[in-house]
Amino acid sequence: MSDNKMTDNKMSFKGRVVIITGAGGGLGRIYALEFAKRGAKVVVNDLGGSLGGEGQNSRAADVVVSEISEKFKAEAVANYDSVTENAQGIVQAALNNFGRVDIIINNAGILKDSSFVKMNSSAFASVVDVHLNGAYRLTRAAWPHMKEQGFGRIINTCSPAGLYGNFGQANYSAAKMGLVGLSETLAKEGYKYNIRVNCIVPLARSRMTEKVVPPPILKQLAPEKIAPLVMYLTHESTEVTNSIFELAAGFYSQIRWERSSGQIFNPDPESFTAEAILNKWSSICDYKDKPFNNTQHPTQLSDYNALIAKARRLPPNEQ
Ligand code: NAD
C-alpha cells in the first residue's frame, strides 16, 4: 500500500497508521510527534491517569493531537481507553479513522514501587496488567490485521529494571522482563508475515524519572534521543527483529544473551552430584572464549541442540 522506500536517506511513514499507547506525555508524546512529522497517521492513546495509575483524563491525549495538527497539519486521533480495559477499542479507533494498523508502540506504563515485603498483590498485579497484559491485549487485537496485510512493526518498551532488577520494583521488573519473552516469541511467529518485533530499554527524562534521577544526569536524558531508534526499527525498510536495544542520552546499543563456555560432566549418573558442580563451578560460569569451548549467544530454543551435540562429540576419555 505504501511506497516509503527511502528517498535521499529519509525515512517516511506516509500512509502508515501507528498506535502509540500512553502517548499523552513523556516518551509516547515524542514518538507521536515524530511519526506525524514523517507522514504517519497516529492514534494517540492515553488514559490520562496519575503515575500510579489513578484517575483518568482526556486532556493528555487531546493536547498531543492538537499539537500534531498545529505543527504538522497531520492526521491524528485521540483515544482514551485503558490498555487494560479496552485494547480492542484502541485498534478499532485506528481502523475506524484510518482503515488499518501498521505499527504498534506499547509504551503505556505506571509505577507502584515499594520493597517486595511491602508490595501487596494488588500493586503487583496492576503494574503487570498495564505493562505486560496491556501490551499483550493490544498486540493480540492488532495481530490478525497485520498478518492479513503482510506488514507489522511492534515495539515493546522494556526497562533496565526488567533486565537487571531494581530495588523496590519487583512488579515493574517482572512485567518488563515478561515483555522481552513476549517479543522474542512474537518475532518468531510474525516473521513470515513481515511482522517485526523488538524491545527497547530506554532511560529518559519524564515524570517517571524526574524524582529518582539526579538533575545533572536528567538534563542529558531528553526523550527526543529515544525516538530515532523507534523510527528506525518500525520503518518498512528495516528487517531487524527479535532484538533488545538499550539507549539513553544519545547512546544506542544492543543487548544479547550470553551462555557461558560451560562444563560437560561425565554421562555416568554417579558423577551428577552437587560436589561435582562445586568442583567445576568456575568452569560452569566461565565466559572466556576458549578454542574449543566457546561462549554462545543463543537466539532461539534450537540453539540448545548445539550444546547437546557438543556433549556427544566428546571423546570417551574426556567424558
Ligand atoms: P509517562 O508516565 O510520562 O508515560 C506513561 C503514559 O502511559 C502516561 O501518559 C500515562 O497516562 C499512560 N498510561 C498509564 N496507564 C495507562 C493505561 N492503562 N492505558 C493507557 N495509557 C496509560 O512515563 P514515560 O517515562 O514516558 O514512560 C513510557 C514508557 O517507557 C513506560 O512503559 C515506561 O515504563 C518505559 N520506560 C521509561 C523509562 C524512562 O527513563 N522514562 C525507562 C525505562 C522504561
Q: Determine the atom of ligand 1 nearest the C-alpha atom of 131.
A: 32
ipTM: 0.99
Residues 150, 132 contacting (CB under 8 angstroms):
no
Residue 54 in this model has a pLDDT that exceeds 90: yes
The arrangement of strands across the sheet holding 103-106 comes to 76-79, 41-45, 17-20, 103-106, 152-157, 195-203, 243-248, 251-255
Taking CA atoms, 39 is separated from 17, 46, 150, 192, 237, in Å, by 9, 21, 21, 27, 15
Task: Look at residue 97 and tell me whether its pLDDT is greater than 70.
Answer: yes
Question: pLDDT tens for residues 101-137?
Answer: 999 999 999 999 999 999 999 999 999 999 999 999 9
* CA 69/CA 52 separation, integer angstroms: 30
pTM for the complete prediction?
0.95
Q: How far does CA 144 lie from the centroid of its chain?
A: 20
Q: Which residues are catalytic?
A: 172, 176
Pocket around ligand 1 at a 6 A CB cut-off: 21-22, 24-28, 45-49, 51, 53, 60, 82-84, 107-110, 130-131, 134, 157, 159, 202-204, 206-209
pLDDT the model gives residue 295: 86
pLDDT of residue 318: 47
Distances (CA, A) of 234 to 29, 90, 240: 16, 19, 9
Q: Which grid cell is 294? A: 566457546
What is the spatial distance between Cα 67 and Cα 49, in angstroms, rounded to a whole number?
20
CA of 171 to the centre of ligand 1 (A): 15
Task: Report whether pLDDT(317) > 50.
Answer: no
Give pLDDT, residue 319. Answer: 41
- From the alpha carbon of 60, which atom of ligand 1 is closest? 9
163 pLDDT above the threshold of 80 = yes
Distance CA 50, CA 270 (A): 58
Res 290: pLDDT: 63
- Asked whether the predicted pLDDT for residue 226 surpasses 90, the reply is yes
Residue nearest to atom 40 of ligand 1 (CA): 203
Residue 289 has pLDDT above 70, yes or no: no
